[in-house]
Homo-oligomer: A and B are copies of this chain.
Amino acid sequence: MASAGTPKAIDLSHHLNKLSLSRVASPLKDIIKYMHEPGMISLAGGLPNPSLFPFGELKAKVYAPETDLRSSEEPSSPIQFSIPKYAPPYHKNTLSAALQYGSSYGSARLSSFIREFTSHAMTPGFSDFEILLHSGNTDAWNKVVNILCEFGDYILVEEHTYPSSQALWVPMGCKGVPIPIDKDGLIPEALELVLKNWDQTLPGIKRPHLLYVVPVGHNPTGATLTLGRKKAIYKICVEYDIIICEDDPYYFLQFPPYVLQSQRTKEEPRPASELDGQAYVDSLIPTFLSLDVQGRVIRLDTFSKTLGPGSRLGYFVCNPLFAERILRATEVTTQAPSGLSQAVIEELLISWGQEGYLRWLLGLRDSYTSRRDWMCDLIAKSFDLVPSPANIVDDVVAVQKGHGSTKDAVPYFSFSFPKGGMFVWIKLYLPCTSTYQDMKATSPSHETATAKWAEAFWMDLIKEKVLLTPGSYYTPIIGGINERMPLEPDVIFFRLAFSFETREEMQLGIERMANVFERWWS
């Protein structure tokens, strides 16, 4: 909880763009004010009468929060709840309300649950933070860019960045400013360098004022920012007056460090004392929001990774001014998220309670930890993993199986064991392959050779029936529609997801991948 001395957000209105500053509140607010006066008969509303909605009741069977998700059996003893059409006033959730037009704020009861949860699990650094529902982080990022950015603005992004997030702003004439990252996420010194030298590098061009960052289990690299780096980045953003958009869908999927299978103690059922929401919350690296004493962080939270993306439901945590401007935009664009999604998620969360929801997240975290372990174990099974030399920042280098102890083992790829999220990010070292040397000899540039090699290798993986995501998909766009950041020569990247496939499928996939590596490095 925020302590008594927690400051309020400072005035950041100079960050708002023209579009956002031009929005006015609907005149209908006067109608709403008078509508609720006692004894008033309103012929002003225009809402359909709920007796004309063809729904009588919605019932859901949901998992108990303590469900062991690592078990392959369907969970027993589910919780059941019902959302009736009409209900006495003490029953807060009805279909007649869920199916009606609602305020663009969304459900007050759901927002209030989220506010309590956020206060406790994140302790925002400013006291007047607001919760505003949205329809998932894609919707949310669209709304952030549309209140802050003008045509042609530069936006600070990680040097590998989520493609949908940039596909939004590229047609708006915006450009990415890639900031180097490593396994611990965005590098503060690199950020500072860009900002310090901005006026020399691009004289006359407006300095970026928005940083887009995925701080935990970064998509695609799996990197998780350390607390030290978060503090350093926040300090730089204060100095250079940058708004931080903290897109954090994987926040509750922070894992304990990976331990090689051979060194791991057999997995025991977790003792009851460890199933402690508070200990879990305390184990999480604090958010940018928690460090933010000025209200310059716009946090995007979503239920997509924790309850199901199809709900299209999430929420902003941000300062009151930004929340109000986003609300004005929401009224005339998306309106509130689906009332059915709100009603179902609200009832689920309130059935579970605050502690129950934390338990669920903890169980989910354990489940994704197992999946992370599966994938890392399987890579270790199909390749030999050796410690990285000094010039490689990743945790380990993968070489041909059985060659890990030979002195001249040739590196296939390096990677780090993810501390959060859903992805392993591998970096391939091409110079040791003869195919790459041949391509380099016949290509006009290193970059062309690298791209050509990447395409051929990817197609060979597909021929072997294993599909990875090419790292080039995540390259920031720094100029016109097709002008991407120049690729690092001699290396390429792939993203491997451990979120979906079964262990058996994963094993098959990694084995096939190993076959392709052996062919191309032979």
Q: Mark A158-169, 1 if CB is under 8 A from B, else 0.
A: 000001100110
Within A108-167, which residues are at the interface with B (CB < 8 Å)?
A: 135-136, 138-139, 142, 163-164, 167
- Contact, CB under 8 Å: A481 / B52: no
Instruction: Give every chain B residue within 8 A of A100 (Cβ-Cβ).
Output: 308-310
Instruction: Give every chain B residue within 8 A of A305 (Cβ-Cβ).
Output: 48
Most chain B CB inside 10 Å of its own CB: which residue of A101, A170, A171, A466 = A171
Known contacts A56-B78, A512-B41; decide if A499 and B46 are in contact (CB<8 Å). yes
Instruction: Give every chain B residue within 8 A of A437 (Cβ-Cβ).
Output: none
- Contact, CB under 8 Å: B59 / A63: no
Within A38-59, which residues are at the interface with B (CB < 8 Å)?
A: 39-59
Report the separation of the CA atoms of residues A508 and B36 in the bound assembly, to the nearest whole angstrom: 17
- A500 located at the interface, meaning its Cβ lies under 8 Å from any Cβ of chain B in the complex: yes
Closest to A345 in B: B340
Q: Mark A295-319, 1 if CB is under 8 A from B, else 0.
A: 0000000001101111111000000
Copies of this protein in the complex: 2
- Contact, CB under 8 Å: A55 / B61: yes
User: Given B54, B168, B506, which contacts A63 in the complex, CB threshold below 8 Å?
Assistant: B54
- A497 located at the interface, meaning its Cβ lies under 8 Å from any Cβ of chain B in the complex: yes
Q: Mark A60-86, 1 if CB is under 8 A from B, else 0.
A: 111101010100001100100000000
Report the separation of the CA atoms of residues A44 and B426 in the bound assembly, to the nearest whole angstrom: 13
* B-contacting 9-mer, from A24-32, A238-246, A261-269: A24-32
- Contact, CB under 8 Å: A56 / B61: yes
- A98 located at the interface, meaning its Cβ lies under 8 Å from any Cβ of chain B in the complex: yes
Instruction: Give every chain B residue within 8 A of A333 (Cβ-Cβ).
Output: 138-139, 142, 168
Closest to A423 in B: B46
* B-contacting 9-mer, from A194-202, A411-419, A467-475: A467-475
User: Given B55, B307, B341, which contacts A338 in the complex, CB threshold below 8 Å?
Assistant: B341
- A227 located at the interface, meaning its Cβ lies under 8 Å from any Cβ of chain B in the complex: no
Known contacts A99-B310, A163-B27; decide if A41 and B338 are in contact (CB<8 Å). no
Most chain B CB inside 10 Å of its own CB: which residue of A69, A136, A500 = A500
Closest to A332 in B: B168
- A509 located at the interface, meaning its Cβ lies under 8 Å from any Cβ of chain B in the complex: yes
Q: Mark A326-368, 1 if CB is under 8 A from B, else 0.
A: 0000011111111111001000100000000000100010010
Known contacts A27-B473, A335-B136, A340-B341; decide if A308 and B41 are in contact (CB<8 Å). no
User: Given B20, B42, B313, which contacts A467 in the complex, CB threshold below 8 Å?
Assistant: B42
Instruction: Give every chain B residue within 8 A of A336 (Cβ-Cβ).
Output: 312
Closest to A82 in B: B59
Closest to A499 in B: B48
Instruction: Give every chain B residue within 8 A of A168 (Cβ-Cβ).
Output: 332-333
- Contact, CB under 8 Å: B308 / A55: yes
- Contact, CB under 8 Å: A58 / B56: no
Known contacts A40-B465, A47-B500, A469-B44; decide if A53 and B308 are in contact (CB<8 Å). yes
- Contact, CB under 8 Å: B500 / A45: yes
Known contacts A46-B219, A48-B499, A49-B500; decide if A59 and B58 are in contact (CB<8 Å). yes
Instruction: Give every chain B residue within 8 A of A39 (Cβ-Cβ).
Output: 465
Within A413-459, which residues are at the interface with B (CB < 8 Å)?
A: 422-423
Known contacts A56-B61, A63-B54, A348-B54; decide if A332 and B167 are in contact (CB<8 Å). yes
- A102 located at the interface, meaning its Cβ lies under 8 Å from any Cβ of chain B in the complex: yes
- Contact, CB under 8 Å: A164 / B43: no
Report the separation of the CA atoms of residues A508 and B39 in the bound assembly, to the nearest whole angstrom: 11
Distance to closest chain B CB from A151 (angstroms) = 9
Distance to closest chain B CB from A516 (angstroms) = 12
- A172 located at the interface, meaning its Cβ lies under 8 Å from any Cβ of chain B in the complex: yes
Report the separation of the CA atoms of residues A333 and B333 in the bound assembly, to the nearest whole angstrom: 10
| A-B contacts besides A43-B496, A59-B59, A142-B334, 19 pairs, CB < 8 Å | A22-B173, A23-B171, A27-B473, A28-B473, A40-B467, A41-B506, A42-B466, A43-B498, A45-B500, A48-B308, A54-B308, A58-B344, A59-B60, A100-B309, A101-B304, A136-B335, A167-B332, A312-B338, A338-B341
13 contacts between A and B (CB under 8 A): A40-B467, A41-B501, A42-B466, A43-B467, A46-B495, A47-B500, A48-B500, A51-B69, A59-B60, A98-B310, A99-B311, A101-B310, A164-B332
Sorted nearest first, the 8 A-B pairs with minimum C-beta distance are A310-B339, A99-B308, A338-B338, A22-B171, A41-B509, A56-B61, A99-B310, A54-B63
